[in-house]
Structure 1
Amino acid sequence: MRSGLCAERCPSRYDADCTEQFLRVWWHQCRRRLSALGVGVTEIGHNWGLVGHAWAVDFLTHAIVSNQHAHAYLLSGPRHVGKNLLALRLAQALNCEQQTANPCGTCRTCKRIVKNNYPDVRIASMATQAAAAKGDEGTRQRDLRIDTVRTWLADITLRPYEGRRRVFILDDVERLTDGAANAMLKVLEEPPPYATILLVAHTAGDVMATIVSRCQRIKLRPVERPAIADWLVAQSYDAPDAERCAAWSDGMPGLALRYAANPDESTAIQQQLDELLGLSQRSFSECVKWVEERNKAFRAGEQNDIYAMLTLWQRWWRDVLVTAAGTHGQLTWVDRQADVVRVARGTGVEAAAHFLHDLALATKQLRENANPQLVLEHLVLRLPDRR
C-alpha cells in the first residue's frame, strides 16, 4: 500500500484517465485530510504564473506536499494553452531551494531552470532536434527520432547532481517514431526513483497507448476568455485590445499574449482573413499560384506557418457555422462580425460544416506527410463560394 498523507486517495500512475473532475475531487479530499492533521495548505495557492488551470496546479502542489507525485506525467492540450509552462513550473517546484511546493522563481535554481541551464532538468523537442541538425536537415524533419530520445535520456540512471529530483521534459511526444517510442517505453517501465518524466503532447490519443498507460494524464483545456483578458490588462495592455486578443486566442493564453505584444502579427492575421475572404472569388489559375507559393513555403521549413493559417481558417469557419446555425455562440472574430454574418448567409450550415471537416482532414494529412501541393489544391477547390 502506498504511504503518505493522501495515499489511499491518490490516483495510480496506471489509472485509465485522470480527468479534471476526478483530480478536483481528489484535491479537495487531500485538502480536508491535510487540514485535519494540522498541515497548512492555504499558502499553496498561487497559480505558478499560469493563466487558468488552477485545478492542475493545486493537484500537483498537493502531490508534492504529500510526496505522492507520479514518476511520469503526460500533459496534453492545444498549442499555446500552457502545457510547456506547466512542465517547467513543475520542474522548478520539485527543485526550488525554498522547498514549499511552489516555485519561487527567484532562487538560483529556479532561474537556471528557466534558462535551460540546470543539470538536473533535461529538455528535448522537435525544436532542439532541429537545432542540433546539420545544414537545412532540421527543416525537413517531421518526427522525433530515436537518437534524440537516447541523447535526452542518456544519463537518467545518474542521481541528481545538484537538486532533489531529476526532471526530463519531452515535447512533441505524438511525433515519436516507433523506435523512439519503444526506447521511451523501456524507461517508463523501470524509472529511477529520483527521476520525474514530463511528456507533452497536443492530443493524448496520438501518443502510443502503452506510453499513455504508464503516465498520469493531465489534460489542459482552453482558458475562459475573461480570465485571459484580465491577465492581459494586468500586464498593462488596453482593455479593448486585451478583449480582442483574448477572443482571437480561442482560449490559448500564450497566443493572446503574442497577439497583444506584436501589433504586426495582429495586422498579419487581418491580412490572412482578407485573403481567405477573397480566395473563393479568385480564378482557378490564381488559386493554383496561391497553392504553389504555400507549397514552397511548407517544403522550405515553414510548416508551422501553414498549420497556423489552417488553424485560423478553422476558427473563422467555426464562427461562420455558428452564425449560420443561429446558435449565437461566442465568436472568435468579434471585430469582424459583419463579415462573418455576410459569409454565413451566403454559405449555409451544410457547406460550412463540410469545409470545417475538410480543414481538419487537410491538417491531419499534412502531419502524416501527405503531398502539400495536392492537399492544399484539394482544400482550395472545395472552398465554399461566399457569394
Structure 2
Amino acid sequence: MGELFFHNVTGQKRAAGHLSDMVRTGRILHAMILTGDAGSGRHELAEAFGAALLCEHPVERDGFLEACGECRSCHQAKSGANPDLITVRNVDPKTGKMKPPGVDDIRRMRDSVAILPYYADHKVYILPLADKMGAQAQNALLKTLEEPPAYAVLLLLAGSTDGLLPTVLSRSVTLRLQAVSSDLIEKDLVSRGIDPKKAHRYASLANGNPGRARLLSGSESYEEFFRQVTELFRDLPKKSAGDLSLASARILGTDADFDAEEEFYFLAEMYVRDLAAGLANAPSLIFHSPITYSNHTVENEPSLTFDQVERLRLAVSNARERRARNGDPVMTCELMLLSMRDALS
C-alpha cells in the first residue's frame, strides 16, 4: 500500500480535494480515469481515495477528509490486504514488471464485482496502465461500466486518455493530475532524507514528476549516467561517427535501476529545450543551471541559430518516432547523435 493519505501526495491538492469531497458528501462516481505520468501520484491518490472511502472513521486533516489510519480497514489497506480495495494486477512472470490488465484479468474482476463488499459499503478497484489495455480487455470492461452495482467504484489509471476507447471514456469521468513545481518536489525529497543539494538537482530533473525524482535520487548509477550524457552533448561537434557508435552502445547498455534508453531521450529533449531557452533569453532548468556537471552553458556554445535548434529538435523527434516503430535501439540512437552533430557543425 502506498501513501494512504491525501495530504501525503505531493503537489496534487486539486485532484485530492475533488476525491476528498466525494467522500465527504457521499456523492461517489462509479468510474473515474486518473490521468498523469507514471510517478505523478495517480496510484497514491487512488489508494488514498479507496482507503478514505472504506475507512470506518474518516478524519479531517489538512483540509481533506481522509482515512484515519487506525481502524481495521486502514490497517488492512496499509498491508495491501483489504478485500474491498483491489488492484487489478497483471505481472509479467519473467520480468516482474507490471503489464496492462488483459481480458482474462478483466473477466476475473467482473466476477469479483458481482460479490458484495466484505466489510464496507463500497468495493474499490484500481486498474493500472488502463490506457495500455487492448480493445478486447476494454470491451470486457464495458459491461461493468454500463451497469455497475451501487457499491462498485472503478479507478482507471492512465498516462492519457488517447489509448482508451470512446465507449470507455463516455462512461467515466476524467480527473487530470497536474505537473508539480520543482520547489514542492525538492521539499518532498528533503523530507525523505535526501541531501538538499541533491534534492535540488533531482527536482530540476523531475520534469514536474515527484515519482521520477524519487526514483532518480535513489539510483546508485544515475549520477554517472548523467555525467556521461552531458559530456557527450558538450563534445558532440568533435565526435567522429565511430565515437558516436561506441557512445550509443555504451549508454544504451548501461546496467541501471532506471530505463537508460528512455532517460537518454528525455535528456536529449531537455538539452534541445535548454538551447532554445538560451536563445530566447528564457530561464533553463537542466543543462544551463548550477546543477550541471560540466560548464556546458549557452554562453560557451558556438553562436547557434533557431534553424540549428530546430534541426536538433527534429533529430530527437525522429528518433522517438523510429523507436515507436520498433527501430533498432543502438542504430536509432547513433543516427540521432549524427544528426545532432551535423546540426551543431
Bin of the TM-score, shorter chain as denominator length: 0.7 to 0.9
Map 1:154-169 → 2, pairs under 5 A:
154-169=111-126
Map 1:167-178 → 2, pairs under 5 A:
167-178=124-135
User: For residue 323 of structure 1, what is the amino acid of its counterpart?
Assistant: G
8 Å Cα contact 1:319-1:340 kept in structure 2? no
**Pairing 1:105–2:69 present:** yes
Deviations 1:263-287 (A, max 9, x none): 6433433333334444564332343
User: For residue 268 of structure 2, what is the amino acid of its counterpart?
Assistant: W
The equivalent residue for 1:311 is 266
8 Å Cα contact 2:182-2:203 kept in structure 1? yes
Deviations 1:116-173 (A, max 9, x none): 3222222135xx431xx3x46x77x986532333344441111112333211111112
SS of structure 1 residue aligned to 2:171: coil
**Pairing 1:60–2:19 present:** yes
Map 1:177-196 → 2, pairs under 5 A:
177-196=134-153
The equivalent residue for 2:9 is 50
In 1, distance between residues paired with 2:150 and 2:101? 26
User: For residue 91 of structure 2, what is the amino acid of its counterpart?
Assistant: Q
Which deviates more, 304-313 or 215-224?
Answer: 304-313
The equivalent residue for 2:81 is 117
In 2, distance between residues paired with 1:346 and 1:214? 53
Seen in structure 2, the aligned counterparts of structure 1 residues 83 and 142 have a Cα distance that, compared at 3 Å, is closer
The equivalent residue for 1:78 is 37
Deviations 1:342-381 (A, max 9, x none): 5754543333334334434543553454554554344333
**Pairing 1:250–2:207 present:** yes
Match of 2:313 among 356, 359, 382: 356
State the aligned residue count: 332
Tell me the CA shift for residue 102 of structure 1: 0.2
In 1, distance between residues paired with 2:248 and 2:25? 55
User: For residue 165 of structure 2, what is the amino acid of its counterpart?
Assistant: M
**Pairing 1:329–2:283 present:** yes
Tell me the CA shift for residue 174 of structure 1: 2.0
Map 1:199-238 → 2, pairs under 5 A:
199-238=156-195
User: For residue 130 of structure 2, what is the amino acid of its counterpart?
Assistant: V
8 Å Cα contact 1:188-1:214 kept in structure 2? yes
Tell me the CA shift for residue 249 of structure 1: 1.2
Tell me the CA shift for residue 235 of structure 1: 3.8
Q: Which has the higher helix share?
A: 1
Seen in structure 2, the aligned counterparts of structure 1 residues 143 and 216 have a Cα distance that, compared at 3 Å, is closer
In 2, distance between residues paired with 1:345 and 1:355? 14
Q: Any gaps of 5 or more consecutive residues in structure 2?
A: 60-64
Seen in structure 2, the aligned counterparts of structure 1 residues 373 and 90 have a Cα distance that, compared at 3 Å, is same
8 Å Cα contact 1:123-1:152 kept in structure 2? no
In 2, distance between residues paired with 1:338 and 1:272? 13
Seen in structure 2, the aligned counterparts of structure 1 residues 114 and 353 have a Cα distance that, compared at 3 Å, is farther
8 Å Cα contact 2:103-2:136 kept in structure 1? yes
8 Å Cα contact 1:324-1:344 kept in structure 2? no
In 2, distance between residues paired with 1:345 and 1:325? 15
The equivalent residue for 1:198 is 155
Seen in structure 2, the aligned counterparts of structure 1 residues 105 and 169 have a Cα distance that, compared at 3 Å, is same
Seen in structure 2, the aligned counterparts of structure 1 residues 330 and 218 have a Cα distance that, compared at 3 Å, is farther
TM-score after normalising by structure 1: 0.74
In 1, distance between residues paired with 2:257 and 2:221? 18
RMSD: 3.2
Which deviates more, 301-310 or 198-207?
Answer: 301-310
SS of structure 1 residue aligned to 2:86: strand
The equivalent residue for 2:62 is none
Q: Any gaps of 5 or more consecutive residues in structure 1?
A: 1-45
Seen in structure 2, the aligned counterparts of structure 1 residues 343 and 312 have a Cα distance that, compared at 3 Å, is farther
Seen in structure 2, the aligned counterparts of structure 1 residues 129 and 251 have a Cα distance that, compared at 3 Å, is same
8 Å Cα contact 1:320-1:344 kept in structure 2? no
In 2, distance between residues paired with 1:278 and 1:151? 54
SS of structure 2 residue aligned to 1:129: coil
Seen in structure 2, the aligned counterparts of structure 1 residues 144 and 288 have a Cα distance that, compared at 3 Å, is farther
8 Å Cα contact 1:71-1:195 kept in structure 2? yes
Deviations 1:92-123 (A, max 9, x none): 11112323440233444334324432222221
TM-score after normalising by structure 2: 0.82
